Amino acid sequence: MSKIIQQYDFRYTLGRFASNIAMRLYHRKIWIEGIENLPKEKPVVFAPNHQNALIDALALIYAVPGQPVFLARADIFKKRLLAWFFRGLKILPVYRIRDGKENLANNNHVFEEAKGVLVDHKLLALFPEAVHNPIRRLLPLKKGIPRIVFLTEEEHHFTLGTVVIPVGLYYSHTDRFDETLHIQFGKPIAIEQFKTRYQENPQRAHLALRDAMTQGLRPLMIDIRDKAHYEMYELLRYLYNRP
């Protein structure tokens, strides 16, 4: 199992320095809350909502101590220079059917690298909605995080102590300059609590973890479930300048 992605990389230091400056220039104010919820010396998987494309990853890089490894859609890696840069920022490509069926096998290596991050008690980040969505509503969560964490813990007899941290990202406006960004880390979800359920029925454990992530994310973000009155809620939020 390759450990290159977990190792220090000067591109990450340079990229983080540049992106943090850009984040400060672009946003009028950045709030970070719940940093005390991040455990030390444990494998951590960050599970943020996904409203603002690559900026969401830069927001997490800005807020999190250390060097989290990200999984992102493969189409952003098409240009060689960008692929080199993203690799330096510890972003790994995940292939979808639309990227070509012949590329799906590449995900096996990527998932092995992701598992290696957890085995080494490092930081991993996946966007559980799988697609970015500017609408202030949480989309159904996909199976990526449950698949990786349960396979990794199973291979190590549930001794790693992996936790999933829901992360709420709120932008007062995603497409405007000089707006605010609120980053909120939720309470950790311990994978060990699903051990018995996973051993009895892996599918039920996957669903239970996804439900736990959903319930953990919703209080940390704006989640307007009422589609019929969505625009009204957005207007009220704007008029009263509420988060």
pTM of the predicted model over 0.75: yes
Asked if pLDDT for residue 7 goes beyond 80, the answer is no
Q: What is the pLDDT of residues 24-34, one digit of tens each?
A: 999 999 999 99
Higher-confidence residue of 11 and 8: namely 11
pLDDT at 125: 97
Distances 165 to 37, 42, 127 between C-alpha atoms, Å: 8, 12, 11
pLDDT tens per residue across span 208-228: 999 999 999 999 998 988 888
Q: What is the pLDDT of residue 1?
A: 46
Start-to-end CA span in the chain (Å): 43
- CB neighbour list of residue 60: distance below 8 Å, 6 or more residues apart: 46, 48, 68, 70, 125, 167, 169, 183
How does pLDDT run across 37-96, given as a tens digit for each residue? 999 889 999 999 999 988 999 999 999 988 899 998 888 888 888 888 888 888 888 888
Structure tokens, 237: 């939020």
In tens, the pLDDT along 111-167 reads: 999 999 999 999 999 999 988 888 899 999 999 999 999 999 999 999 999 999 999
Can you give the pLDDT at residue 65?
87
pLDDT at residue 168 is higher than 60? yes
**What pLDDT is recorded for position 243?**
52
Tell me the C-alpha distance between 57 and 70, whole Å: 8
**What percentage of the chain exceeds 90 in pLDDT?**
59
Mean of pLDDT over the chain: 90
For tokens 């207007």, the residue is 235
Q: Tell me how far apart the alpha carbons of residues 50 and 214 are, in angstroms, rounded to a whole number.
A: 13
Asked if pLDDT for residue 13 goes beyond 80, the answer is yes
Distance CA 133, CA 71 (A): 17
Pick the residue with more confidence: 37 or 104?
Answer: 37
pLDDT at residue number 4:
60
Positive or negative, the CA dihedral 116, 194, 136, 59 is: negative
Whether residue 241 is predicted with pLDDT greater than 80 in this model: the reply is no
Structural domains in the chain plus CATH codes: 4-240 (3.40.1130.10)
Check pLDDT > 80 for residue 242.
Answer: no
